[in-house]
Chain A
Amino acid sequence: AQSVTQPDIHITVSEGASLELRCNYSYGATPYLFWYVQSPGQGLQLLLKYFSGDTLVQGIKGFEAEFKRSQSSFNLRKPSVHWSDAAEYFCAVGFPKAAGNKLTFGGGTRVLVKP
């Protein structure tokens, strides 16, 4: 069955330090890949997406993600974290044969930023 895993439930990082959030999926072909961010009390906002081509994609707010086919991974990175990056981050996967443009979400990683 298709699945998405975010192995880290919580991550604490100091302001100015780098951040990497992991995402792994299980699927027989290359899916469509997304990262969303959710600030407290808010809906989900799209950070970036990957469909094909260059495996390093740039997103908003200084985030980037790298697709690695061999590892079935799509990890999110930011070189220098700001206090405003404290939020919950969700990896989502769209499978090309899924009807209705459905997405499967990982369980989320909550990021805490220390001053």
Chain B
Amino acid sequence: NAGVTQTPKFQVLKTGQSMTLQCAQDMNHNSMYWYRQDPGMGLRLIYYSASEGTTDKGEVPNGYNVSRLNKREFSLRLESAAPSQTSVYFCASSQRDSRDQPQHFGDGTRLSIL
């Protein structure tokens, strides 16, 4: 069972470069999420997609864009990377219809912006 798969696992970028982080889930979940994790701040929601064809901003959306390509895939794009975007990025998924369903996480993408 693959669950939630993120690629790449590591990436180093220069300031101003662009990049897309990929996420795919094989659990037939409706909702998908992108978080960033910074020391002492837990996980903060960047964007989420409650269902295929919809996306919404989370707590820290500035500097990011997302695409819900289909039910399985949800990508996160940095158009012009900045050092403040150095972080660990996690993708997660869950069932939509029940708010008490837990989220399932990928292993993360460690991104450094120089």
Contacts and interface: CB of A to CB of B under 8 A. Distances in A.
B99 A94 contact: yes
A21 B97 CA distance: 30
B95 to A, nearest CB: 8
Contact of A43 (B44, B56, B90, B98): B90
A36 to B, nearest CB: 8
A108 B49 CA distance: 25
Contact of A107 (B40, B94, B105): B40
A44 interface: yes
Contacts of B21: none
Contacts of A36: 105
A100 interface: yes
A51 interface: yes
A99 interface: yes
B50 A9 contact: no
Interface residues of B, number: 31
B43 A102 contact: no
Nearest to B59: A104
Contacts of A106: 42
Interface in B65-96: 90, 92, 94-96
B42 A90 contact: yes
Contacts of B95: 101
Contact of B99 (A44, A46, A92, A96): A96
A49 B98 CA distance: 14
A106 B100 CA distance: 18
Contacts of B99: 32, 94, 96, 98, 101
B1 interface: no
Contacts of A108: 40, 42
Which 6 A-B residue pairings sit nearest by Cβ, starting from the closest? A43-B105, A105-B42, A100-B50, A44-B105, A105-B43, A51-B100
9 contacts: A36-B105, A43-B108, A101-B31, A101-B95, A101-B96, A101-B103, A102-B58, A103-B45, A107-B40
Given A36-B105, A107-B42, 8 more contacts: A32-B99, A44-B92, A49-B100, A49-B102, A92-B43, A98-B99, A100-B48, A101-B94
